Amino acid sequence: MLKYTLRQLEYFVAVGEAGSIAKASEKVNVSSPSISAAVAQLEQQFGLPLFVRQHAQGLSLTQAGRQMLVQARVVLREAQGLMDIAGDISGSVRGPMTVGCLVTFAQVVLPSLRRSFEAAYPDVRMRQFELNQAEIFSHLRRSEIDIALTYDLDVPADLQFVSLLKLPPFAIVSATHPLADHVEVSIEDLKDHPMVLLDLPFSSDYFLSFFNRIGAQPRIAERTRDMAVMRSLVANGYGYSIANVRPLNDHSPDGKPLRFIPISGPVRPMRMGLLMAQDAARSNAVRALIEQAQRMVAARELPGLEKILRG
């Protein structure tokens, strides 16, 4: 007779992935004592230590714990499969769903999409993670997220991408930059000016490919992985940058004005869309989120969409 619950397995997986009770608590939005008790109950039930407690370094999985973690993920996936079957039969949209979002536009797009979706489907319990592109691929393959809002950057063949809209690139410059008054700029115009590179996995390769195409090298003066930091560096005169999503206002986080200039010439736009495992759309909740996102894009209800579509 089973004496452990799926909830306990969920908490165990969260701790195994996070490496600490505190981080797992933030991930699943449950108190640390509840998670600690669940792990202790599992260890008692299995008769095995699942973690080595290291005061300074947190928790690390034992050999038994690593094997149990793999199987626990399988059990949780299969349990979700039962929910999906029940949903298909009843036509309902319910259960937990975890959504990833590319860090570059998570603050602009995801909260509004999530709020609209949860209002339409109150029986879905949604969690979100802000990730870079490499982390999105990894989380999808390990079933740590069900679906992700991201770009079509080097999408692997084992994942499925549903396009929502096209995002042409633009240059970001300060109000005093020599190119600030241009209606549009080319990569040729930009190449001799200092650049602040948004240095995220896959994204940086995309931006640098523009220069490779004309046989040039950008003058990279600064690198950052944070969109807000990038905008502030640009506004304070450290160089221009390139992006595909505009913030809702034309100022940097420290209040200085910015100019957003379309880039002309043969520069490939990126597409924003939803990325998932090949069989993820069997889930009613995943299908419903795709449809909700498509409706919001068609109705131009996502924040900043007018600016995005204007380029």
Residue 74: is its pLDDT beyond 90?
no
For the chain, what percent of residues have pLDDT higher than 70?
Answer: 92
Structure confidence at residue 310 as a pLDDT band (50, 70, 90): very low
Question: In sequence order, what are the residues at sequence separation of 6 or more whose Cβ sits closer than 8 angstroms to the Cβ of residue 46?
Answer: 64, 68
The answer to whether residues 283 and 84 touch, using CB atoms and an 8 Å cutoff, is: yes
Q: What is the mean pLDDT of residues 161-170?
A: 93
Query: Mean pLDDT over all residues of the chain?
Result: 88
Question: In sequence order, what are the residues at sequence separation of 6 or more whose Cβ sits closer than 8 angstroms to the Cβ of residue 150?
Answer: 100, 101, 102, 133, 136, 272, 273, 274, 275
pTM for the predicted model, two decimal places: 0.70
| Per-residue pLDDT, 57 | 64
| Per-residue pLDDT, 306 | 55
Residue 211: is its pLDDT beyond 90?
yes
Q: What is the mean pLDDT of residues 267-274?
A: 93
Q: Is 91 left (phi over 0), alpha (psi -120 to 50) or beta?
A: left
pLDDT in tens, 8-60: 888 899 899 888 888 888 878 788 888 889 899 998 888 889 998 876 667 88
Lowest mean pLDDT among 231-235, 279-283, 301-305: 301-305
Question: In sequence order, what are the residues at sequence separation of 6 or more whose Cβ sits closer than 8 angstroms to the Cβ of residue 51?
Answer: 15, 16, 39, 59, 60, 61, 62, 65
Domains in the chain with CATH codes: 6-75 (1.10.10.10), 93-166+271-310 (3.40.190.10), 169-268 (3.40.190.10)
Question: In sequence order, what are the residues at sequence separation of 6 or more whose Cβ sits closer than 8 angstroms to the Cβ of residue 181?
Answer: none
Structure confidence at residue 239 as a pLDDT band (50, 70, 90): very high
Residue 290: is its pLDDT beyond 70?
yes
